[in-house]
Amino acid sequence: MQCNLLSIRYMFLLWATLFAMTGCSDLKDSPWTQSSDQIMSPASSDMSHSPSTQTTSETSPPNDTIPSTKSQTGTARISLLLPLTGKGSEIGQAMLNAAQLAMFDLNASSFFELYPEDTGKGAAQAMNNAISNGANLILGPVFSTDAKSIAPIALQNNINILSFSTDASAAMGNTFVMGFMPQAQVNSVLSYANSVGYKRIALIAPRDIYGDSVTSTFDTFMQRYAIPNPTIIRYNAGSLPAPADLTPLKSGVDAVLIATSATESNKISNMLTAEGYAPTTVKRLGTGLWDQAQAAKLSGLEGAWYAAASPRLRTRFENRYLETYGVRPPRLASLAYDATGLAVVIAKSGKDFSRTTLTNASGFAGVDGIFRFMPDGLVDRGLAILEIKSGVSSILLEAPQRFAKR
């Protein structure tokens, strides 16, 4: 592993600060809190060891009641389920790299073992291998179908899963969904727009699972703020809306949320301009699907706002990854880094990987900002509001550092 010891120590200190519990409420019930009520951060130790990502033949059966933090050997065993062959293998390998980087940055090798399992050869087989290896917690898989297929096995063996999926329907039983969900993004960008005076907001969304999720969240938001008769335009996924689809837009609309990729949103924005809804009079709003470097280069999105994880800490992670592996990580790699970092800190704290630990209301902090798991298994995130201006996405409103009480 190519490393610069100075940068490793810097990242370790960063994580020691970040991967403590966060929250605006009393931390006395935090899994990271010692008896003195001080937040526990990972203890510093020798940084010269590389992370352990081995698979052994030793087994340790899951605890009968809750997943144990450590195996009978005194080491936390975490299984990382990723597509290392076949479909998605490039993403899988990058996420494995990121997980190893988190272990190295947190000096986890003395008490923590990470066991990669290849879902490309079958998610159920990978899950059964994890159980045979005495896994205390499952990180992954990436795909929703894989997460759903292993959910019954996890429930039967009482092991919790932190899936990287973005499909809310995968949150079931012992499975939590950690991917970048549209719900928090929609609420964040709508809340900000509403707070600065945009009251008549329309929605344009494709007819697919993502569009359905955004539409449901949009509708709930409008009801909560008593905004009557919002305009909702749906169009067939895989194509652009026809000009006739845009006719329901009312003359008084002052903002429109376009819930699709940046490339497609750019085209729709240009269509709106051609129909008389220029960006100067109708603000363009977007979701985390715009959280890609090329989005800022699209002229139709000039001046637009969208909600996404703050890029400040993620940029440091991306530079660290580049320094170590020689390439820039794909966007999803930070999920594996944060999930592994979370598992390391829980193991260091001496707590278990139970549902109570994972759903602590104060949440956790990582390179994608603060996050917490809700009782329904979905992830909640503290997001920034970004503005596209002159070819650059810049932070308009920084992400919160703490969650409000729920």
pLDDT confidence of residue 168: 92
In a domain, 405, yes or no: no
pLDDT confidence of residue 69: 52
- For the stretch 353-400, pLDDT in tens is 999 999 999 999 999 999 999 999 999 999 999 999 999 999 999 999
CA-based R_g, the chain, Å: 22
The tokens of 113 are what?
Answer: 């073992």
Question: 358 and 281: one domain?
Answer: no
Question: 352 and 336: one domain?
Answer: yes
At 290 the three-state DSSP class reads helix
Of 212, 205, 124, 138, nearest in space to 169 by CA: 212
**Diameter over CA atoms, the chain:** 68
Is the confidence at residue 313, as pLDDT, over 90? Answer: no
In a domain, 234, yes or no: yes
Q: Which carries the bigger pLDDT value, residue 53 or residue 371?
A: 371
Question: 165 and 221: one domain?
Answer: no
pLDDT confidence of residue 73: 54
pLDDT confidence of residue 8: 31
pLDDT confidence of residue 35: 25
- CATH of residue 139's domain is 3.40.50.2300
In a domain, 402, yes or no: no
pLDDT confidence of residue 117: 98
Question: 336 and 207: one domain?
Answer: no
Instruction: Return the H-helix or E-strand segment holding 364.
Output: strand 364-366
Measured CA to CA, the distance from residue 25 to residue 135 in angstroms comes to 32
pLDDT confidence of residue 14: 39
Q: Which carries the bigger pLDDT value, residue 27 or residue 202?
A: 202
In a domain, 404, yes or no: no
pLDDT confidence of residue 16: 41
pTM for the model: 0.81
Show the domain range for 173.
5-179+311-373
Give mean pLDDT, residues 255-261: 98
In a domain, 253, yes or no: yes
Question: 225 and 364: one domain?
Answer: no
Is the confidence at residue 1, as pLDDT, over 80? Answer: no
| CA–centroid distance for 397 within its chain | 19
In a domain, 380, yes or no: no
**How much of the chain exceeds pLDDT 70, in percent?**
82
pLDDT confidence of residue 302: 97
Is the confidence at residue 71, as pLDDT, over 90? Answer: no
Question: 158 and 70: one domain?
Answer: yes
The domain total for the chain is: 2
Measured CA to CA, the distance from residue 213 to residue 183 in angstroms comes to 7
Question: 38 and 156: one domain?
Answer: yes
Question: 50 and 175: one domain?
Answer: yes
Is the confidence at residue 15, as pLDDT, over 90? Answer: no
> Helix, strand, coil % (nearest 5) of the chain?
40, 20, 45
Give mean pLDDT, residues 297-321: 95
Question: 198 and 287: one domain?
Answer: yes
- Mutual angle of helices 182-195 and 209-224, in 10-degree steps: 40
Phi, then psi, of 100 in degrees rounded to 5? -65, -40
Is the confidence at residue 44, as pLDDT, over 50? Answer: no
In a domain, 198, yes or no: yes
The tokens of 314 are what?
Answer: 């993620």
Measured CA to CA, the distance from residue 158 to residue 144 in angstroms comes to 20
Assign 404 a pLDDT band (cuts: 50, 70, 90). confident
Is the confidence at residue 40, as pLDDT, over 80? Answer: no
Give mean pLDDT, residues 44-54: 33
- For the stretch 335-357, pLDDT in tens is 999 999 999 999 998 899 999 99
Give mean pLDDT, residues 206-224: 95
Of the listed ranges 42-46, 125-129, 221-225, the least confidently predicted one is 42-46
Q: Which carries the bigger pLDDT value, residue 274 or residue 30?
A: 274
Question: 271 and 316: one domain?
Answer: no
Beta strand 76-82 with 137-139 is: parallel
Give mean pLDDT, residues 193-215: 96
In a domain, 379, yes or no: no
pLDDT confidence of residue 286: 98
pLDDT confidence of residue 11: 37
Question: 51 and 164: one domain?
Answer: yes
At 327 the three-state DSSP class reads coil
- For the stretch 146-173, pLDDT in tens is 999 999 999 999 999 999 999 999 999 9
Question: 210 and 166: one domain?
Answer: no
At 232 the three-state DSSP class reads strand
Q: Reply yes or no: is the peptide bond before residue 141 cis, omega within 30 of 0.
A: yes
Mean pLDDT, the chain, rounded, equals 84
Burial 330-363, CB ≥16 within 10 A → b, else e: ebbbbbbbbbbbbbbbbbbbebbbbbebbebbbb
